[in-house]
Amino acid sequence: MSRKSVAQEAEEILLASDMIRLGARLQVLQTETSLSYDRLARLYREIRKASPPKGMLPYSVDWFMTWLPNIHATMFYSHFQFLNTHTPSTGTRALIDGYRLYLEQANAGRPESTDSEPVLSFTRAWMLLRFFDSNMLQLSDCTRCGGGFVAHAYEPKADFICAICQPPPRAGKTRARAAKKTRRVANTV
Amino acid sequence: MSELNQDLLADIHEINLSYLMLAQRLLRDDYATGMARLGFDEDVASLILELSPAQLVRLASSGSVICGFRMNDYELLSALTRDVLGGILQQAHSAILLAQQATRAPIGSQATQASQAAQPAGQAV
């Protein structure tokens, strides 16, 4: 192994701090940069003013199949894919830029943005790319709108209809929204 | 052939010029993200970025609108204007479809590129 160049290390620190600001967990940083655990943990504490959270990463392919997460994951992935294939920003940079674009969209699309937590966290977005890399997910083309949506790998694509063209009957009727509605009704009465 | 109203012509020039200037600003601000927003490929993006103000004005003062409608596809547009769930998802839907437009095959060459698009693209990660 050759000695690490200072310029490269500086670049990696910048990448890592961008990722920390977007909410990346330490495991993500360790995979995406070659910085040591100690330095990353110190950087994390400097930026977030808190110790990095411990424990396992959310590991679930099925999470991406549920209705709202599927739409959000697809939105992020299409931005990422464009950046990664068509622009000079590739790899980790594309992950960061793609996630920023996604955040912007996700916040604009929400009718009532009371909770600031995005549906797809940065760490989840990173997991999504890992799942694509390891051939656990694929994009299936919707037969109605032609868009590619995140789906289990090797699932038949023949008459796939996406989550937006055909939302499940109870889509968008979450407990949180129902609670909000009853509260509003209570206020007006 | 009837002459187009001078006001309308001036409006077209204005749209053209502000489009080109917006494109330059977006690209200068953040090259990669700007490309994603505009839907440019690398050649066009670098060319637009290098245009001088004089060139911009010359390019803009044509009688027709120079920026294309990106949803110029009946299927796509009808999918987007269909009212699902009161239209909450329209923004998300258009974001997805627009971002994928360049990466996916235009209609006609689907057979070759669809298989490519299905493959995971994030190899560099």
Q: Angle at the Cα of A108 (from A58 to A18), degrees rounded to 5?
A: 50
pLDDT of residue B118: 40
**A112-122 per-position pLDDT tens digit:** 555 567 889 99
- Count of residues making up chain A: 189
Q: What is the ipTM of this complex?
A: 0.76
pTM of the model: 0.81
- Strands A148-152 and A137-141 come out as antiparallel
Instruction: Report yes or no: A122 and A23 within 8 Å, Cβ to Cβ.
Output: yes
**A13-52 per-position pLDDT tens digit:** 999 999 999 999 999 999 999 999 999 999 999 999 999 8
The b-or-e profile of B72-102 (16+ CB within 10 A means b, else e) is: ebeebeebbeeebeeebbbbbbbbbbbbbbb
Cβ within 8 Å, pair B96-A135? no
Going from N- to C-terminal start, the domains of chain A cover 1-55, 58-189
Can you list the domains of chain B with their CATH numbers? 6-60 (1.10.4000.10), 69-106 (no CATH)
Interface of A with B in 112-131 (CB under 8 A): 126, 129-130
Cβ within 8 Å, pair B33-A83? yes
B-side interface with A, Cβ within 8 Å? 30-33, 35-37, 41-42, 45, 75-76, 79-80, 82, 84-85, 88-89, 91-93, 95-97, 99-100, 102-104, 114, 117-118, 120-125
d(CA B17, CA B13): 6
Residue pLDDT tens, chain B, 125 long: 466 788 888 999 999 999 999 999 999 999 999 999 998 888 889 999 999 999 999 999 888 898 888 877 777 778 777 776 666 778 888 888 888 887 664 433 333 333 344 444 433 33
**A45-87 per-position pLDDT tens digit:** 999 999 988 888 888 899 999 988 999 999 999 999 999 988 8
Cβ within 8 Å, pair B125-A95? yes
pLDDT of residue B121: 40
Burial class (CB in 10 A: 0-12, 13-18, 19+), A168: exposed
